[in-house]
Amino acid sequence: MNKAKLAIAIAAMLGAMGAQAETLAKADQRMLAQMAQANMAEIEAGKIALQKSQNNEVKAFAQKMIDDHGKGLQEVQAVAQSKNVTLPTEPDAKQKALAKKLNRLSGDAFDRTYTAEAGAKAHKATHAFVQKVQTDAKDADVKALAAKLEPTVAQHLGHVETLTATLQSGAPRTAATPDNAMDTSGASGATSATGGSGAGTSSAKTPKPKASADKTSGNTDHPDNPQNPVGKSPVKQ
């Protein structure tokens, strides 16, 4: 009898768990899946940026994306697990295409594309989406999750928009290994060697002109001085 009651209790528990999953609307399940993929895409793009970028600011942003979206993904997974929802294990087709595009680029072209597309464009879309989830989701936990993620996404968007504007304007790079580094000390030395106006030129001594006697001064030995009799023609008688 006791075994029968235990079996009934277990069956009721399993049924309740199944009912919980069924009560989560399909639209809410899709929202959870989309939030998960958005986080996964940012993590993947950030890893590519750490490998390919030579810009310290871009690399710092990429590391922050990996850290923050890693936490965001864990939060989405926790809610999904509590609702018995199975999430995707990889980004969607569009996000994968962007990752392939980034892998083909390098240098400044990579930095501009990564910050503009995986950064500004993706975060703008994600920010609008989590706001929509807070309005449209039926499940309170899904709404709360979107509300929790929104401030971080907004912060990322503001950060990357500034970074993107700097890169697009062609401002000087803050690079770990500049592409066209110039040895300014060598450049100034070369200028000095060719007689330019570099720093080395100022150390060269310019010979002082010899002082010449003033023919109108009191020096009567100067041949042009009218008071020097040696330079005069004899007076005819």
Residues 6+ apart with CB under 8 A from 185: none
Vertex 161: Cα angle to 153 and 91 (nearest 5)? 50
CA gap 203, 30 in Å, rounded: 74
Which domains are delineated in the chain?
26-168 (1.20.1260.10)
pLDDT tens for residues 86-126? 999 999 999 999 999 999 999 999 999 999 999 999 999 99
- Report the C-alpha gap between 120 and 117 in whole angstroms: 6
- Whether 130 shows a pLDDT value over 50: the answer reads yes
User: Comparing C-alpha atoms, which of 93, 120, 116 is closest to residue 105?
Assistant: 116
Give 224's pLDDT tier (boundaries 50, 70, 90). low
pLDDT, tens digit, 9 for 90 and up, residues 15-49:
555 545 457 999 999 999 999 999 999 999 999 99
pLDDT for the residue 23: 79
Placement of tokens 């697990």 in the chain: 81
CB distance 59 to 125 below 8 Å: no
